[in-house]
Structure 1
C-alpha cells in the first residue's frame, strides 16, 4: 500500500480555495453599493475604481468568473478522482477486507462526496457569506486581479456574453436589468439605516419629509385662505398698530376691502420705520409685490420662486384665478421638519397617539403624512391634500359629528366639525 498522496490533497484544497476566491469576488462586486465605491474611489482607492469598472460591465465580468469557476471545478473533479480514489480504495480494502475493485469504486465515490462537500462549504457558501458582510472592501481588494483576468479571458468571455444575449433575445427579455432605485426602495434603505442605528429617528423623519415635499403640490403645504392674516389698505393708524401687536407674523398681506383684492405684502419693520420717522402709515405705498403661483405647482418649484422673490411670500391661486392661500419658507420647512409649536393653533399637535393605539388627527394634517403613520396606500393622482380631504373623498358627502367610516384596517370617526370643515378625527383599528 503506497503512502497517502498529501501533495495531491494540498493541490485539491488549493483548487477549492481558488474557487472560493472566484465566488467571493463575484458576490462582492455584484452586491457592492456604487455610491460607497465611488466615495472610496474619490478617496484614492484604485481597487474601488477597478470594482466600479467591473460593475459597469457585469456581463463581461460574470462570464470571466464563470469560466474560472467551471475550469476549477472540472480540473478539481478529474484530479481528485484520479489521484485520491486509488489510495482511499487501498485503505478501505486493507481495513475492511473488501475486494480491490469494490474498494476502489467505494473510494472513488467517497472522494467525490467529500470534495463536493468541501467545494460547497469552502469554495462557495463561506466566501459568499464573507463577501456579503463587507462587499465594498472585498471588491476593492479583488477587483484589480479580476480586472486583469478579465482582459486575459476577453475572447472567451465575449463569446459567452454574446451567447447569453442571444438567449435573452430569444426569450423576449432585455439583457440589462433596470438598476434605477425606486422611491420605495429608498424609503426602505432609510428605515433600515434607522433600525441599524446609522441615523437617528429625527433624521429619518426629516429625510422622509424631504421626500414627501418633492411629491406635494404647493396647495398641500400652503397656509389656506381662511387662516391668512391681512390688513385692509383703508385701515386707520390705530387699527394697523393693533393688528401688528396682535399678530405673531412679521409680514402681512395688504388688500383692498377683501383678501381677494391683494395689493402686496407689508413688512412690520417698514411700518416701524415709518412710525419712528413720524411719517403717516400708507399701506399702499409700503406694500411690496408678491409672486403668484398656481396651486398645482410642485412645492420644490415654489421653493425656487421664494428664493428669488423680493419678499419670501407667494400668493397661491387656483385655475380660475381665485385666491387660495399663501406659501412661505416656514410652510415648506414645516412640511419637512414638522410644524413649530408657535404656528400650531392652540398648541395642539396634528397627530396624537393615545394609550390604546388609536390616533387623534387634525383634519388639516397632510394626507401623505397620515398615510405614513397608518400604513395606508394613497392614489398617486389624488385631488386632495389633507386628512379632511381624504375622508371627504371616501365618504362622498359632508359628514356630521359622530359619523364613522371604515377603510381597510382603520375606522375613521368624525369627533369635531368646525362649521363645514372636518376639524378632528379619531382613527382606531377596525
Structure 2
C-alpha cells in the first residue's frame, strides 16, 4: 500500500477510536435527572441511554473491544506505514546499525501521539462538555454493536462478573441521591447563576429543617402568656391588651398543668355581646396538641398536618412546659431572610461586631458568623447555653468567651438569664 493509503487507514482508525472514547465518557457522565427530563419531553433516545446506564457492563465491554482492537490495528499499520519513510529521512544524517530501531521507535511515537491527541484526549474532553447530547448521538450505534457482538459481550461480561463475585465486589451501581447531593447541586446552581441567591437560601432552609429541633424555633417558657383557671376578669383583660395573641394557654395553678387553650376571638365575642369574660364557659376550652422537645421541625409539620391545628405545646422529659410553637414560627425558619421579622435576634453593628440575643438558636449564630460547629453543641441549643457551658457557671455581665476567632461577651443579664451578647471579631493584634 502507498503512504496515502496507510494515512487514510490511520485516520479511519483514529475516527473509530474517537467515537468509542466519546461514547465511554458520555454514557457514563450523562446525568440521570437531565435524561429523565428529556424522556418527559418526548426524547426516545434518552430512555435508551438510561437503559444502558442500568447495565454499564454491556457498553463498557463494547467500548473496550473497540478501543483495544483499533489500538492493535493502529500499532501494526502505523509501524508498517511510517517506519520506512522515517528511515529514508534519517539515512542522510545517520546510516548506522541503529537506523531501523530508531525509525521504528519514532514511528511508534508518532502513531501513539496521534491516537492520544485525536482518538482519546480531545474526544473525551468534548464529551465532558455536553455528555447528555453526545450520549443521545452515540446510543443507537452502540446498541447496534451490542447486537452484532453479543457473543463477545456475553463472554467478557460473564468472566468479569465471575471475578467480581470471587472478590465480593458489587456488579451494579447504587444510585441513591442523598440530601448532601441535592445541596451540592444547589450550590453549583447558585454559583452558575441558575438559582438566585434567595432561591438557594430558601431551599437550603428547607433541608435544614430536618436537622433543627423544635426548641430552636419555639417561643420559650418565660415568654409565654397564659391564663389560670379562676383568673380575675381584669387580669384577663390586661393580658389581652398587652399581648394580643390569637390563642392563650389555660392552666390549673401553674404553667406545667395545661388544661387546654382558648381562642381570643371567642373572648371577643363575649365582649361584643356584653357578657362578662369567662374562660371556663362550656365549649370555650380546646384540647391542645402536646409534642416532645426532641422533634425536628419536619416532624412538627407532620403533627400539624395530621392534627389539623397550627400550634403546639412543647414538653420536656419531665413533663414541664418548655415553650410553644406555631406554624408561623416554622415557616419563618423556612423563609429566613426573605421575610422581615419585627425584631431580629442577630443585629450587625459593623463589619466586626454583632448584638445577639441570648435565646438565639445555635444554627442561626453559626450561619451568621460562618462558624462550622460549637464545642459539644449537643449539650445546649442557644448561644446563652454555649456561654453557660463554656464558663461552667451562671454568667455575669462582662463575662466573655473566645472561640473560633470571636469574642462572646455578656452585656445584659435579666434575672440570671443572658439577655444579650456582644460578639466581636478578634483581630490579629488582639491575639498577639
Range class of TM-score, shorter chain: 0.7 to 0.9
Q: Give the CA deviation at 1:314.
A: 0.9
Deviation at 1:376, TM superposition (A): 1.5
Give the one of 412, 417, 428 matched to 2:425.
428
Moved over 6 A (4+): 339-342
Give the superposition deviation at 1:233.
4.0
Which of 243, 248, 255 matches 1:259?
Answer: 255
Tell whether the 8 Å contact from 2:215 to 2:293 is kept in structure 1 after alignment.
yes
For 1:106 and 1:58, the matched residues in 2 are separated by 42
TM superposition shift of 1:292: 0.8
With normalisation by structure 1, the TM-score equals 0.86
Deviation at 1:22, TM superposition (A): 1.5
Q: Which of 207, 225, 243 in structure 2 is aligned with 1:247?
A: 243
Three-state SS of the structure 1 residue aligned to 2:63 is helix
Distance of 1:168 and 1:377 partners within structure 2? 41
Compute the displacement of 1:73 (Å).
1.0
Question: Counterparts of 2:391 and 2:58 in 1: how far apart (Å)?
Answer: 57
How is 1:33-112 mapped onto 2 (pairs within 5 angstroms)? 33-93=31-91, 96=92, 99=95, 105-112=101-108
Structure 2 alignment gaps of length 5 or more = none
Given candidates 121, 133, 137, the residue that maps to 1:137 is 133
> What is the distance in 2 between the residues matched to 1:366 and 1:112?
67
Q: Could you tell me which of 30, 47, 52 is aligned with 1:32? A: 30
Quote the Cα distance in structure 2 between the aligned partners of 1:376 and 1:275. Answer: 53
Do the aligned residues in 1 keep the contact of 2:198 with 2:338 (CA within 8 Å)? no
Deviations 1:197-238 (A, max 9, x none): 111111222112111111122223222111222233434445
Figure out how many residues of one structure are paired with residues of the other and give that number: 423
CA RMSD of aligned residues (A): 3.0
Residue in 2 aligned with 1:371?
366
Gaps in structure 1 of 5+ consecutive residues: none
Q: Give the TM-score normalised by the residue count of structure 2.
A: 0.86
Determine the structure 1 residue equivalent to 2:123: 127
Post-superposition shift, 1:144? 2.6
Correspondence for 2:190: 194
Checking the alignment, whether the CA contact within 8 Å between 1:290 and 1:309 is kept in structure 2 is no
Alpha-carbon deviation of 1:388?
A: 2.4
Moved more, 140-149 or 21-30: 140-149
Q: What does residue 153 of structure 1 align with?
A: 149
CA contact (8 A) 1:89 1:100 kept: no
* C-alpha distance after superposition, 1:126-172 (max 9, x if no partner): 22222222222222222232233234434433444444445555666
1:416 and 2:428 equivalent?
no
The whole-number CA distance in structure 1 between the counterparts of 2:49 and 2:395 is 60
> Shift of the alpha carbon at 1:123?
1.4
Q: Which of 385, 400, 407 is the equivalent residue of 1:404?
A: 400
Question: How far is 1:343 from its partner?
Answer: 5.0
